[in-house]
Every structure is written in C-alpha cells, then in structure tokens.
Amino acid sequence: MSVNLTINSYFDEIKKKKILGTKCKDCGRIHLPPRVICDQCKSTNLELIELAGEGTLQAYSVVYVPTSKMIAAGFGRENPNCVGIVKLSEGPMMSAEIHGFDLSKPENIKIGTTVKSKFIERGEDVILAFEA
Ligand SMILES: [Zn+2]
C-alpha cells in the first residue's frame, strides 16, 4: 500500500496535535516527516503511523539572535529560546524548539535528557516543540 500524504497534510495533523510518520512494511524503517518511498530500501510499501512524541535531546543551541518570526513571538537577546535535535523513541530525529531548561545556565542542559512533545499555538500556527 502506498501512502498519500503531502507535507501540508502533515502540518494539518500537527495542528490536530498528532505526529504522523511512515513505517516501511519491508524493512521496518520509520520516517518523519512521512515519505512515499523508503529512503533505506526504496520500497513504496509504507503505512502511516502516529509517533508517541517522546525522545532524547541529541544537540541544542541557545538562540540570542532569533528569526523575525521568533522576535515577533517575544524572543531575543534578553529572552533567548532553545532549539535542538531530538531523537524520537521510534528512531527518527528532528529539529524543534526545546522548552523546560533554565537558559540563563545553558551549561546545565544535558545531552540525552528525556523530552516529550508539546504543541504550542502561536498566532495561526501550531508548533511541535519538546519539553524537558
Ligand atoms: Zn524500507
């Protein structure tokens, strides 16, 4: 069975607070965002799955000079935000905002910390972030 899902419908599911990926029925690889062809074995025999939204922090950066969208959301030199790479329990890795750390002491942020998904409503957008 092939999967019929566009990147826009992936983000529509994020707005419903669901994280959808695909699982290859031939080799078992899990993809995020969903794919129509497995990047490991080139199979199109994929199925949609909902990911649990749990993982571990692999890398991070504290951002003092954010994008204009983040400045509009209230972030900046005096109120930095954290972005990082999360390895989900199902295997895929993704970049996302990371919440729940004291950013005045970034040396205390530990790689390997368990994080859980958190959906943030910001204007008309729903952002998939992670919380320590
Ligand atoms: Zn595969």
Could you tell me the distance, in angstroms and rounded to a whole number, from the CA of residue 25 to the centre of ligand 1? 7
Give the per-residue pLDDT at 8: 82
- Tell me how far apart the alpha carbons of residues 120 and 15 are, in angstroms, rounded to a whole number: 9
Distance 72 CA to ligand 1 centre (A): 41
**Structure tokens, 71:** 């400045």
How far away, in angstroms, is 55 Cα from ligand 1 center? 22
Q: Where on the phi/psi map is residue 64: left (φ > 0), alpha (ψ -120 to 50), or beta?
A: alpha
Q: How far is ligand 1, taken at its centre, from the CA of residue 85, in Å?
A: 23
Q: What is the pLDDT along the chain (132 residues), one digit of tens a residue?
A: 566 777 888 889 999 999 999 999 999 999 999 999 999 999 999 999 999 999 999 999 999 999 999 999 999 999 999 999 999 999 999 999 999 999 999 999 999 999 999 999 998 899 999 999
In the block, tokens 């991070």 appear at 60
For residue 5, the model assigns a pLDDT of 73
**How far apart are the C-alpha atoms of 24 and 14, rounded to whole Å?**
21
CA of 22 to the centre of ligand 1 (A): 10
In this predicted structure, what is the pLDDT of residue 2? Answer: 61
Q: In order of start, what are the domains of the chain with their CATH numbers?
A: 7-50 (2.20.28), 54-131 (2.40.50)
Ion ligand 1: residues, CB within 5 A, are: 24, 26-27, 29, 38, 40-41, 43
